Amino acid sequence: MKILMYSVRPDEQAAIHDWADRHQVQVDTNDLEFHPDTAHLAQGYDGLIIQQRSAIGDDPSVYQQLADWGFKQLTSRTAGVDTIDVAAAKTAGLTVTNVPAYSPNSVAEMAVAQTMRLIRNLELFDRRIGQQNFQWAGLQAREIRSLTVGIIGAGRIGGVAARLFHGLGAKVIAFDPVHHAELTDVLTYVDTKEDLLKQADVVDLHVDLNPTSQGLLDAAAFKLMKNDAFVVNASRGPVIVTADLVAALKAGELAGAALDTVEGEAALFNQNHADDVLQDPLIAQLMQMPNVMITPHVGFYTNLAVKNMVDISLDDVLAIAQGGTSKHTI
Ligand code: NAD
């Protein structure tokens, strides 16, 4: 049994070696994305795992090629499978699997951390201290237990975020068309997005990206928010209309934002642009704003999440290669 993993980062190697030792299975790695021109590297292996930013490509013959080489599956060690032509893979007889929930806590804790930074004015203090200005005037904080956190999208990650915020003493409200009875001890559902925007001191986004959530926060939404409220987005960039957010921040319609994900991020995130002039005018403006914090889509990037992505994906490959099934089949 030999498994090949594409696009492996150095920080994944420890978990990969650990899994390979435990299962006595050969796992080889490379740092390349899987595309038709790199597919030949997989020949001779029994299992295949990918994780990449760009789509495999339009040519469906690559999936048939994998099947002809004896592969039974194609696994992404991420939640998203938009890089894979799932229909073409299935037509070729491949089982496609993903890792839908590697650690909801990883992203939920990121949202809590950024919320605390916002309400404690820590970014603003960092900027003052960086200029040797040690004054505190004007930056009185608010305690989380005095605030209402509004979670839009209380699914796996939003549900954990609700528990964490509740544990810190916040009042938690949520808008989600799907209600989970097990969350009602920590949150109160509201009927509309508008209700939530009017009440929340922190609007925390955890929706999946779909036609109803694309552009969920636009100019009209920001007008409904309290002027001293914050927005935290660790979901997907297009959930916020960035141009409208920039305009709303300039108009003082909200107090600040923490963005772990933003429209157009693929051209910047996880790359070093230290010597470049930023080409995206909206992201460039957000970067200049002292009340905006940008992180490069790292909510998922924790010790436990990375280990789970490796372990769950390899477990699935092994199960399918040995004739079994995976509960993560797309
Ligand atoms: P999930 O499917 O468990 O939960 C999403 C919830 O959003 C569901 O309960 C759904 O009913 C709700 N929802 C969908 N559309 C809505 C709308 N228009 N209004 C209100 N609610 C709506 O998903 P999850 O696993 O909790 O992931 C949530 C988000 O986190 C996804 O967008 C995912 O891409 C993102 N994510 C980010 C990172 C990161 O590193 N920042 C990592 C993993 C996942």
Would you state the structure tokens that stand for residue 166, as one six-digit string?
């509740």
Q: Look-up: residue for tokens 């992404």?
A: 76
| CATH architecture for residues 104-294 | 3-Layer(aba) Sandwich (3.40)
Quickly list DSSP for 129-183: HHTT----TT-----GGGSEEEEE--SHHHHHHHHHHHHTT-EEEEE-SS--GGG
Q: Among 77, 163, 297, 328, which one carries the catalytic annotation?
A: 297
Query: Which residue among 157, 196, 312 has the greatest number of ligand 1 atoms within 8 angstroms of its CB, and so is best to mutate?
Result: 157
- In this chain, the answer to whether the domains covering 2-102+303-322 and 104-294 adopt an identical fold is yes
Q: Inter-axis angle of helices 156-167 and 104-119, to 10 degrees?
A: 50
Alpha-helix runs per DSSP H in the chain: 13-23, 61-68, 86-91, 104-119, 122-130, 156-167, 193-199, 219-224, 242-250, 281-288, 303-321
Out of 123, 236, 253, 263, the active site residue is 236
| pLDDT one digit per residue (tens) for the chain, 330 residues | 999 999 999 999 999 999 999 999 999 999 999 999 999 999 999 999 999 888 898 788 999 999 999 999 999 999 888 899 999 999 999 999 999 999 999 999 999 999 999 999 999 999 999 999 999 999 999 999 999 999 999 999 999 999 999 999 999 999 999 999 999 999 999 999 999 999 999 999 999 999 999 999 999 999 999 999 999 999 999 999 999 999 999 999 999 999 999 999 988 998 999 999 999 999 999 999 999 999 999 999 999 999 999 999 999 999 999 999 999 999
Q: Which residue, 59, 233, 243, is CA-closest to 153?
A: 233
Q: Which of 96, 5, 17, 1 is nearest to 52 (CA)?
A: 5
* CATH code assigned to 2-102+303-322: 3.40.50.720
Token pair, residue 247, equals: 């305009």
* Ligand 1, CB within 6 Å, residue ranges: 79, 101, 104, 107, 152-158, 175-178, 206-210, 212-213, 216, 234-236, 260-261, 297, 299-300
Any idea where the domains of the chain sit in the sequence?
2-102+303-322, 104-294
